[in-house]
Structure 1
């Protein structure tokens, strides 16, 4: 059987959820508000939207590419060390973004440095700590709780970042955010697992074998494709909703005020709290792959309604609330399936590979949004792509099999 043992359960589950959730909350909360900087930065520097879109797209791609690496390091040496590095990188990246006067400097700071920081401070690394300090019966629920805290950061930081922009300007707002991210370092120290040893399996599985095993499973392949769609949608909406509403104000004047976009993005974060919590709770009782299929199908309906109905502040807020409920509810379910099938020994690394797929989608969602807008003057093509991908993701999640892998113990005839 795929039995994992560990001597690292020296942190209380409450501490892991609260502190780990707070680190995630700061990371994804600040990142969620980057869309508010889109028009101010591009207009102040005379750039097209493609430059800002490229920075955000590269940030998500770097985040995804480096996530398996940092996840593997967290599995090997402990998550808190990786999170400390992430706190330092996040602070440096925000300072660099504020000091950048060229498009290259901005893309490198906002895209590369902050992308690396996000890989160190978000779900895959924190979920590895949770997996080692939580019983299997509570694992998906605990992941949902940590994701819900991250969602609270999205809700809380949106108005904070808007106020910083309004009262302090672009550069000072980024510097203040850098000070806030520096607190990730002492928070990460609290999650130090004093008796940490990498989890062991009965088959003493290696990293290479774990990777081959995962990618050889049809269910894992389907799962990470669905996660690709999730990334495409949430980053496109997060980065381009504010400028989309500004553009649509020509036809619907009431939606062009900056506070409409600010409230909408905050509502995404608020309802994301409930979505991730209940996804974790339901994931302990119902098949997680069917819940994922429902979430992706529901997204297609919500997005289609948003672009077809006349825009008013009310319909924008309604869209934000529904999308918020569906926003990151995929995260505890996806990671819960990975943990259930493959165990927790390489959970951070395998979750990192799943997240890499998510971030490839994020790259395309962010970049295509800016690129196709600059070419066509409209976001309509990207909205249609998002709907089609949602339908496809709902379908590919249906045949996933949530069955724990059985491995022969090391030294047995089957293993030999």
Structure 2
């Protein structure tokens, strides 16, 4: 790359970006483990806890758009540092929350905002600006695989912390861990950062948004990602309780989440590699359809620890494997000047799905005493998402060039 003096080395971007995503996503993936100890100790119902996490997902989605705009404009470094501070504050607040409102503000608003500044949209913007298109999908796969490894590593660690320290002190320990994101962010400081340096910003933010939202393929991509959020967050938060309700031992649930994380490493990496070779929309359609099949089989066969582990492993391969092809497709269609912001909008759709998945899980469980209806919704949505991805056009959008000097 000719402007190598202005770009960070690929190794540095991947190591620091991957470590940040590992911590940020790893902490987040274990929140389901707090559902029962917190609700029992504070005498809350499941919907109270589920609603706070639903707020977290929605806040992450909304603030992710602005975190993306700020990162595209001022560089990722400042955004990530701010996110790390909010993460520590939110976890501390969650530890000492005694009312539903305090839980919604700490675990919901603060942690949701923190995740927006420390996860994919912001990190992928740095990858897009510093790594050439020929390796971009692969690099995004590597970063996503690291986040998955974080889930594999952090969920059992969080289970151990809860057993060893109690649920409250475990949250305090995680708050301290979140502060480690700040020194890592230093490695993503882009020298001479001018908004989209090296990628001429021919468009204002509003022009970029108008172009994207009028483009049919962008709308379809957002619709598919909505389904991804619904399925993943419903399973991630409610699976431990679903398994306990069915009489399985507690360690089956934490092993299940860890297996999802482990196989997710391979799935996301494979999706990134395949995205360099195949049409990304076909990869996405395959992932969504296969998820629907896997959930159906899981509900049909008798529930045993083994059936849970097989389900978790296969689901893990498909878990966040939607992330690299989706973000690489946004970069491929619209370029990288506004990548973090547009990625933030696609992710917002994902988070509306997440909100509904986690909240409906708690709501319908409290009303019907079972998770069955939500499982059926997850299957139907999987089939729908596979169908909406097929007509996407993933070639670069044709733009009329602006007159010289504009």
TM class by shorter chain equals: over 0.9
Give 2:399's aligned residue.
Answer: 407
- Relative to 1, partners in 2 of residues 1:24 and 1:128: Cα closer, same or farther, differing over 3 Å? same
Query: Does the 8 A contact of 1:10 with 1:195 survive in 2?
Result: no
Q: CA RMSD in A?
A: 1.6
Helix, strand or coil for the counterpart of 1:148? Answer: helix
Give 2:215's aligned residue.
Answer: 217
Query: Where in structure 2 are there 5+ consecutive unaligned residues?
Result: none
Helix, strand or coil for the counterpart of 1:345? Answer: coil
Give 2:235's aligned residue.
Answer: 237
Helix, strand or coil for the counterpart of 1:327? Answer: coil
Q: 2:299 aligns with which of 301, 307, 319?
A: 307
Q: TM-score, normalised on structure 1? A: 0.95
Residues in 2 aligned to 1:7 and 1:346: alpha-carbon distance in whole angstroms: 21
Residues in 2 aligned to 1:326 and 1:233: alpha-carbon distance in whole angstroms: 11
1:334 has 2:329 as partner: no
- Give 1:202 shift: 5.8
Q: Deviations over 1:307-338 (max 9, x none)?
A: 11101100000000011000000000000100
Query: Does the 8 A contact of 1:203 with 1:407 survive in 2?
Result: no
1:343 has 2:340 as partner: no
Residues in 2 aligned to 1:78 and 1:203: alpha-carbon distance in whole angstroms: 14
Give 1:227's aligned residue.
Answer: 225
Query: Does the 8 A contact of 2:201 with 2:337 survive in 1?
Result: no
Q: 1:108 aligns with which of 96, 101, 105?
A: 105
Query: Does the 8 A contact of 2:68 with 2:121 survive in 1?
Result: yes
Q: 2:169 aligns with which of 172, 176, 192?
A: 172
Query: Does the 8 A contact of 1:57 with 1:362 survive in 2?
Result: yes
Residues in 1 aligned to 2:56 and 2:5: alpha-carbon distance in whole angstroms: 32
Helix, strand or coil for the counterpart of 2:203? Answer: coil
Q: Any residues of structure 2 matched to 1:71-86 within 5 Å, and which?
A: 71-86=68-83
Residues in 2 aligned to 1:371 and 1:154: alpha-carbon distance in whole angstroms: 26
Q: Deviations over 1:334-358 (max 9, x none)?
A: 0010000000000000000000000
Helix, strand or coil for the counterpart of 2:318? Answer: helix
Query: Where in structure 1 are there 5+ consecutive unaligned residues?
Result: 250-255
- Relative to 1, partners in 2 of residues 1:165 and 1:201: Cα closer, same or farther, differing over 3 Å? closer
Give 2:353's aligned residue.
Answer: 361
Residues in 1 aligned to 2:304 and 2:109: alpha-carbon distance in whole angstroms: 37
Query: Does the 8 A contact of 1:339 with 1:347 survive in 2?
Result: yes
Give 2:253's aligned residue.
Answer: 261
1:282 has 2:274 as partner: yes
Helix, strand or coil for the counterpart of 1:212? Answer: helix
Q: Deviations over 1:50-88 (max 9, x none)?
A: 001001100000000111111000000000110000100
- Relative to 1, partners in 2 of residues 1:382 and 1:308: Cα closer, same or farther, differing over 3 Å? same
Q: Once structures 1 and 2 are overlaid, which stretch shifts more, 186-195 or 326-335?
A: 186-195
Q: Deviations over 1:101-154 (max 9, x none)?
A: 112111110000000000000000000000010000000000000000000000
Helix, strand or coil for the counterpart of 1:205? Answer: coil
Query: Does the 8 A contact of 2:220 with 2:388 survive in 1?
Result: yes
Residues in 2 aligned to 1:51 and 1:387: alpha-carbon distance in whole angstroms: 26
Residues in 2 aligned to 1:6 and 1:304: alpha-carbon distance in whole angstroms: 51
Q: Once structures 1 and 2 are overlaid, which stretch shifts more, 281-290 or 11-20?
A: 11-20
Aligned length: 405
Q: Once structures 1 and 2 are overlaid, which stretch shifts more, 9-18 or 237-246?
A: 9-18
Residues in 2 aligned to 1:407 and 1:180: alpha-carbon distance in whole angstroms: 45
Residues in 1 aligned to 2:340 and 2:392: alpha-carbon distance in whole angstroms: 21
- Relative to 1, partners in 2 of residues 1:201 and 1:216: Cα closer, same or farther, differing over 3 Å? farther
Query: Does the 8 A contact of 2:137 with 2:272 survive in 1?
Result: yes
Give 1:325's aligned residue.
Answer: 317
1:32 has 2:26 as partner: no
Query: Does the 8 A contact of 2:13 with 2:126 survive in 1?
Result: yes
Residues in 2 aligned to 1:115 and 1:215: alpha-carbon distance in whole angstroms: 24
Q: TM-score, normalised on structure 2? A: 0.97
Helix, strand or coil for the counterpart of 1:368? Answer: helix
Q: Once structures 1 and 2 are overlaid, which stretch shifts more, 102-111 or 147-156?
A: 102-111
Residues in 2 aligned to 1:89 and 1:208: alpha-carbon distance in whole angstroms: 28
Q: 1:48 aligns with which of 45, 57, 74?
A: 45
Residues in 1 aligned to 2:288 and 2:100: alpha-carbon distance in whole angstroms: 35
Q: 1:144 aligns with which of 122, 141, 145?
A: 141
- Give 1:205 shift: 0.8
Residues in 2 aligned to 1:366 and 1:231: alpha-carbon distance in whole angstroms: 9
- Give 1:382 shift: 0.1
Q: Deviations over 1:344-391 (max 9, x none)?
A: 000000000000000000000000000000000000000000000000
Q: Deviations over 1:266-312 (max 9, x none)?
A: 00000000000000000000000000000000000111111111011
